[in-house]
Amino acid sequence: MEETNLNSYQTLACRKCGRWVDNVGETAHTVICSYCVQLLVGFPEEKTVKVSSGRPVGWHFMNEFVDKKGNVFHKGVEQPNLKGTLPPTKISKPKVKTKRRTKEQILIDRHNEKKQALKKAIKKQKDFLNHNFGD
């Protein structure tokens, strides 16, 4: 046991992994070390996992959207006094074109996308230069 300023603290072994934990209150009989607590609580990034709101993509751009609970939104702004007055907006899943692209087509598309991006970048740079040096 290590020396601590306070004699009322003790060192105990974590009851999960056996790691020594210092500065445990003297009344404690078991202790869980910070590592195991972390494991129990879960790592912070797990908390940021997106929870599906059940709302469609772009719902906050819709003139009017009513969620399942009857909350009414006008362009994404909640309208509390309209709550429950309207039927929930039916979420129609966007019809995805199921035309399967071949691997070759995917590569061609990707190539074209890159080309477009490059064109844009070049134009941007030209605009930038024109703007700076005039005509």
Residues interacting with Zn ion, by CB under 5 A? Answer: 14, 16-17, 19, 33, 36
Residues 109, 100: contact at Cβ < 8 Å?
no
The closest of 54, 48, 49 to 71, measured between CA atoms, is: 54
- 24: β partners: 10
Nearer to Zn ion, 39 or 129 (CB): 39
Nearer to Zn ion, 32 or 62 (CB): 32
Query: What residue type is 93 in one-letter code?
Result: K
Residues 31, 21: contact at Cβ < 8 Å?
yes
Residue 17 CB, nearest approach to Zn ion (Å)? 3
Residue 64 CB, nearest approach to Zn ion (Å)? 53
Nearer to Zn ion, 16 or 55 (CB): 16
Question: Using alpha carbons only, what angle is made at residue 121 by residues 103 and 115, rounded to the nearest 5 degrees?
Answer: 25
Residue 4 CB, nearest approach to Zn ion (Å)? 20
